[in-house]
Structure 1
Amino acid sequence: MERKTMFSFQRLGPLGFLTLALLLSACQSLFQVPKPPVEVQGAGVLLEALPGDSRQVAVRLAQGAEGAEVFLRLADPCAKGTASCPGWDASRYPGVEHTRERFVLSATEPQATFTFTVSGDALPQGPFKWEVVAVDGAGKEWTFPVYLRIRQSQDEPPLEVMNRWRAWAGLRPFAREDAERSFECWQYGRYAVLNRDVIG
């Protein structure tokens, strides 16, 4: 006699189908990845500004989110206290001031704007990195990187310089600059300058 190994849905009946549907729904919500409560325009993009310029980053409440508190902080080991940087101003990057206000986003006020203002005498450097921090109703924290480089008007964009050297070496050009690696290079450059007597 042949054994039947296939499951027959006809045996479930209406109550069985309802139970199965509830179980599948519970499993789906159990394994659902939580989504950030906000959307950040310009997150991860390398912004550039000249001395005296300002740049803005808009944060909007995500669809379906009930609310969130949003603010900016420096994404720098010196500012976070994870590195020893004597004389470092943990509240701002040199030559740039940023919005210090905290915003509470809701259905009635779903958007906030953060402004980065470069002083007229700022030296060309960076990119600096901030984090847009969003805290949802459950207290979960989400971070979004924002990068800003200060340039002089006559400066050639670093990506163009790099690609010119790569062309001379017979290498393919980079399509875009890696903002995070550039931030790390700036940190190393800062360390090398501040410690030149030690590492020189």
Structure 2
Amino acid sequence: MNAIEAIRQRRAVKHFDPNHRLTADELALLLDVAAQSPSSFNIQHWRLVNVVDPALRTQLREAAFDQAQVTDASLLFVVCTDIKAWEKDPQRYWVNAPKEAQDILVPWIPPFYSGKEQLQRDEAMRSVGLILQTLMIGAKAMGYDSCPMIGFDIEKVGQLVNLPADYAVGAMLVIGKGIKPAWAKPGFIPRDEMVVENHF
């Protein structure tokens, strides 16, 4: 399936085959695709908690108001973000770049983020959104369905996955073999509301 069709066909599916699992090769491919996601200064703030423990999945389902996809889908990722990733050895984010790019961009990172708590969080959450979309489109292109989730007790989920300090939970994402189609697409805002030219 090409990228355009994957985007058009992707839906938030709620019903999954609980007996299906992705192969190790499929998971590796999906994670390789996810790693291609863009991020500010290539910081890659995202941290994926791949929840494979059935007991933990049951607890997370309880924290997600008993939504069945949490336990039934093949994969459950708690998509977290390291808000302070910008200050953790930033040279490593540019290790394969030409030296001239490293010399310009790496020194720019600390002054760009330092002392700007809201910007740090905003960028970290933007990274969550980017990897979520990449994972969902990648999964659809592989023939799988997905569902991004924010309908859960975020503090409880953080406790259950032992969320480190300076991290945040961005969303949960389930991926697997859908067994019931999603509703028809509910509608789109008018194009002239979606896009304005030059200014509001």
- Classify the TM-score, shorter chain: under 0.3
Computing the radius of gyration from Cα coordinates, the structure with the larger value is 1
TM-score, normalised with respect to structure 1: 0.24
Q: When you count strand as a share of all residues, which structure comes out higher?
A: 1
Q: Kindly indicate whether structure 1 or structure 2 has the higher relative contact order, using CA contacts under 8 Å at least 6 residues apart.
A: 2
TM-score of the superposition, structure 2-length normalised?
0.24
Q: Report which of the two has the higher share of helix.
A: 2
